[in-house]
Chains A and B, each alone.
Chain A
Amino acid sequence: MSLAIATESVAESEEEPLVPPSATDASITALIADPLLVRGAGRSWWIATAIAAALTLVTIIAIWRLLAEGIGLLGNNTTVVWGVPIANYVWWIGIGNAGTLISALLLLTRQRWRASINRFAEGMTLFAVSIAGLFPILHLGRPEYFYWLAPYPNTMTLWPQWRSALVWDFWAIVSYLLFSIVFFYVGLVPDLATLRDRSKSLRTRRIYGAFALGWRGSARQWRLHQALYSTMAALAVPLVCSVHSIVGLDFAASLMPGWQETIFPPYFVVGAMFSGFAMVVLLAAAMRWGFGFQQIVTVRHFEAMALIILASSLIMTLSYSTEWFSGWYSGKAAERGEIAFAFTGSYAPLFWAQLFCNCAAPQILCWPRMRRSLTALVLVSLAILVGMWLERILIIWNTLSHGFLPSMRHLFLPTLEDGLLVIAPLGFFAMLFLIFVRVLPAISMHEMRQLLHERTRP
């Protein structure tokens, strides 16, 4: 439904071009490729990378401490056995969903504006999912045995316990990661060829060449490529939905008040898209500014994304209220108590903050001028990213700290380690992304050219 809105809006503002009228194949290609091949990294890039690297180091130290000392370093306790790593995991996997979703869904629904954002959105997906994948392992008491979740022949004749949502999770993440890599790579091949042909030094040509797999741009190759790419896109959509549904089941497949709810899978998917688009907006804005992509990442792009965010926000709000209603309607003391605790209990301030960030703040986008104002959009996106993290941590804290037996009600007291695990990985993510934009075309050149072509054709 959100997409429908987007389509219309884009149709309406047809006068506004997705690519500058003056643009030619050559100019577009140059615009995107030159930062990699000709121009060196600017000072801002180096500063950003330095900061990101520092945070990456912090991430590594935090993880090492965790492995050496034990997860007792985290604030988890007997009652609230889950905590920050799980929330981070859900949050990152949510971010990771948007990339493939944008590419695939928008490709299938012929959203032409997708061309200039899908590449780095997919990049974002890869990095986010890999980071997300770390947390379930880090939160284990004995991380060294994480592979026991995989079925493999062993001398104990033991298998994973298939009924556990965590095992489904394992498969969801692994398959999603593998798929995203391939999808990303397939989309990349023609551009790698372009880079191969444009780069001056033999070394870079060899490297790009090797990965270009001998792409020549023949009609046959293009046909095969298109076929493969759209097939994968078709496969991607259900996969994307399955991933976060299964994450939702980690909670829903339990009997704890506030978790045991059928609404979780769908609303986790929307939540993922929600936070994912927020992150895309941030990255798009950053690159637009960093590379001077003003002509190809236009206000129209942001407007379209703003509409999707607005729509998702409405859906989220609806889901929340459904959750509260069904909790109340169930008539169970535990369920009602849990909801009351969320609104009035120890974590109420965070809960209200969450509602503000996810439900209230995005509403300013109903206002066309706000949809077209980058600042507003960026601020809203930031709010959403915070709000969605709060949502995930509160799903855990509220339910676990307010269980069935009053005698076992304890609060979660975050520790330094918790804090590090929240902040530092952002730097790691940033570093991966910064490197990515330096070695690969952050915007799909061949699809931009295609866009250009379609425009010039009567």
Chain B
Amino acid sequence: MAQIFGPGADTVARGVLAGIAAAPFAFVAFCYALASSPHVTDEGVTVTQPVPFSHEHHVGGLGIDCRFCHNGVETSPVAAVPPTETCMNCHSQIWTHAAMLEPVRQSLASGDPIHWRQVNRLPDYVYFDHSVHIAKGVGCTTCHGEVERMPLMRQSAPLTMQWCLDCHRNPAPNLRDLGEVFATDWRAPADQDERGKRLMVEYHIHVDNLTDCSVCHR
């Protein structure tokens, strides 16, 4: 009776069996890698805008304070993207005819708002409050990165729940004196460890309830 399989058949069979065993683990690993990759988190993705507003120029170059435009950040959950008139406060004086500012002038003239494209997005079921983070000494750049070096805005943190929790479990490394919250060039000083500990006490930050679901989700 003729052979129905070639000599390699055994090896193939072993391979297949091994594959079946390995597949689930490989699959999970792949998914995890994908979920934490920029493809999903958008970390580091630069977004083009209707007006090529440069934080590098305005913040890094001119040294304008964050609150000049994002004036809700200390009082409101949302930092607020400034209304057109805020732009025009200055640009009615300087660069009045710059082509790149045409949409801004248009907006003010026509009353139609500028449609900016969102850069840092949290899911709708996450209720993030800027003001309380500011009040507790978490600086802008801690989450938004070195905006003073961004010609166009990009998301500089993964913004995954894991990333949020890392800080909510141990805020100390990211706490600043209130004076430094808006400093865009802030770097953790050498003594950040005991600084952090001290500030935790000063700001009355209790880690035990910082990881409650209800802190961010309702």
Binding site for B on A (CB under 8 A): 152-158, 196, 202, 205-206, 209-210, 213-214
Contacts and interface: CB of A to CB of B under 8 A. Distances in A.
Closest 4 CB pairs of A and B: A155-B160, A156-B161, A153-B32, A155-B162
B161 A214 contact: no
Residues of B in contact with A, size category: 10 to 19
B62 interface: no
B99 interface: no
B35 to A, nearest CB: 5
A156 B162 contact: yes
B191 interface: no
B18 interface: no
B9 interface: yes
Given A153-B32, A205-B4, A213 B13 contact: yes
A214 B10 contact: yes
Contacts of A154: 32, 35
B28 interface: yes
Nearest to A153: B32
A148 to B, nearest CB: 13
B13 A214 contact: yes
Contacts of A210: 5, 13
Nearest to A196: B4
Given A213-B13, A214-B13, A157 B162 contact: yes
B58 to A, nearest CB: 33
Contacts of B32: 152-155
B100 interface: no
Contacts of B35: 154-155
B165 interface: yes
Interface in B10-38: 10, 13, 28, 31-32, 35-36
A156 B28 contact: no
Contacts of B13: 210, 213-214
Contact of B5 (A153, A156, A157, A209): A209
A155 B9 CA distance: 41
Interface string B25-55: 0001001100110000100000000000000
Contact of B4 (A153, A155, A206, A213): A206
Contacts of A155: 32, 35-36, 41, 158, 160-162
Interface centre among A157, A196, A206 (most CB of B within 10 A): A157
14 contacts: A153-B28, A153-B32, A154-B32, A154-B35, A155-B158, A158-B161, A202-B4, A205-B4, A206-B4, A209-B4, A210-B5, A213-B13, A214-B10, A214-B13
A148 B148 CA distance: 41
Contacts of B4: 196, 202, 205-206, 209
B28 A152 contact: yes
